[in-house]
Amino acid sequence: MVHHTIATSTTSASKASSKISPMKFRLLRLVTTALIVGTLVACSTRPPAPTDAPAATTAPPPPPFATVPAAPAAAVPGTLAQPKSRWVPVSWDELPGFEQDSTTEAWNAWIKNCERPAPAFAPLCGDVRRLSIGTPDEQRAWMRARLQPYRVEAPGGNADGLLTAYYEPYLDAARVPGNGYTVPLYRPPATLGARKPWYTRQQIESSPEAQAQLAGRVIGWVRDPVEAMVLHIQGSGRLRMLESDGTTSLVRVAFAGTNDQPYMSVGRWLLDQGLVRDATWPGIRAWTLQNPGRVNEMLWANPRYVFFREEPLGALDAGFGPKGAQGVALTPGRSIAVDRQSIPYGTPVWLASTGPTTQLQRLVMAQDTGSAILGAVRADYFTGWGPEAGDIAGRLKQALRLWVLWPR
């Protein structure tokens, strides 16, 4: 997945979260149409999933961190640390909203964790699966008994951080170009690894040499070059594909690599050129409509280009997002991307974030990463797919606190 800047539109789709207030959004549902909404949050292409997790141990090992050396007059007994964060043990009462969260909504994400569990959590997966039909009170009681909450802080002790969001665009596409479908989505070229960095976005779209190396690599065609770039930015998407025989199928395109060129924000380019004062999506979209002859110039300001692989999207897959860096499918509203040097993949996390219109207090799972998701208290919240998911992802940028829940 990728998330750096901007995005555009289409139609209606899944809801992003069930407990965002005061907006009071409904639970995410699978749908058939979409809207791509942009964000100026700088994020980046998500890497391929790692190899299989190590075999489960018979008992949870201690967290893979060293105990923080005693600090003068300030050390909290049991504080743990890793390169970019320290974990301070706290009581369950410190977690805001813990008694109110519908934890059953998070259990699907936890069961996904158990497909590739971190060694410390593998022994808990039998209980996790049994509790999938438990009540929130039963699930909370089990967590209190088996897990210890730790407040996540920067090494210097700052517990305040930043929450942003990302989502999965949903576009109409066609196997055969024509009838408005003119923008290709490519599989990686055979020469991608032999030349680093590979051609820039501008060269890929205009150089005969680059075009020759991409011959036969098209997955499908979309209508709008800006929407295609948004798909590159988010790193994964859903396509309602018009097949060559006239039938329609639903497929996912997942991240398969980049041209190894640097990412540049087109919103930042517009601001730096003095072309807009408003680099939100409405401002960017208004500029593209008023300046159609300069759209390529804007897009080419970002030399990074993303290549995809096609994945089937069956009924069982359609209710989940793409696979994150942990190697498991993301759950809308319950999966986050983190800095893995602060929080290991597969860790349950209590998230609390409040902004002008959005309040989130909920159990989530650390299942993904992004090269711009850096720091101790930093998370990117997966909102799902469709217009509401895109709307939330486009505007969510607010204060954050995190607590990891680690086996006792």
Compute the distance between CA of residue 332 and CA of residue 200 in angstroms, rounded to an integer: 33
Whole-model pTM? 0.77
Compute the distance between CA of residue 375 and CA of residue 343 in angstroms, rounded to an integer: 10
The class level of CATH for 78-163+321-380+399-407 reads: mainly beta
Q: What is the pLDDT of residue 75?
A: 54
The residues spanned by each domain of the chain are: 21-48+166-312, 78-163+321-380+399-407
Compute the distance between CA of residue 65 and CA of residue 326 in angstroms, rounded to an integer: 19
Kindly report the average pLDDT of the chain as a whole number. 83
164 to 6, 180, 192, 286, 381: CA distances (angstroms): 13, 34, 31, 24, 6
Tell me how many degrees the CA angle 278-283-284 measures, rounded to the nearest 5.
110
Q: What is the pLDDT of residue 393?
A: 86
Q: What is the pLDDT of residue 338?
A: 97
Q: What is the DSSP letter of 329?
A: B
Compute the distance between CA of residue 388 and CA of residue 248 in angstroms, rounded to an integer: 24
- Answer yes or no: are the C-beta atoms of 253 and 227 closer than 8 Å: no
- With b for 16 or more beta-carbon neighbours within 10 A and e for fewer, the 217-245 pattern comes to eebbbbbbbbbbbbbbbbbbbbbbbbeee
pLDDT in tens, 149-160: 999 999 999 999
- The answer to whether domain 21-48+166-312 and domain 78-163+321-380+399-407 are alike in fold is no
Asked if CATH classification 2.60.40.10 holds for the domain at 21-48+166-312, the reply, yes or no, is no
Structure tokens, 150: 């730790």
Side-chain-side CA neighbours of 111 within 13 Å: the count stands at: 13
Q: What is the pLDDT of residue 72?
A: 36
Q: What is the pLDDT of residue 356?
A: 79
Q: How far is Cα of residue 348 from the mean position of the Cα atoms in its chain?
A: 16
Which residues of the chain are modeled with pLDDT < 70?
Answer: 1-75, 281-282, 357
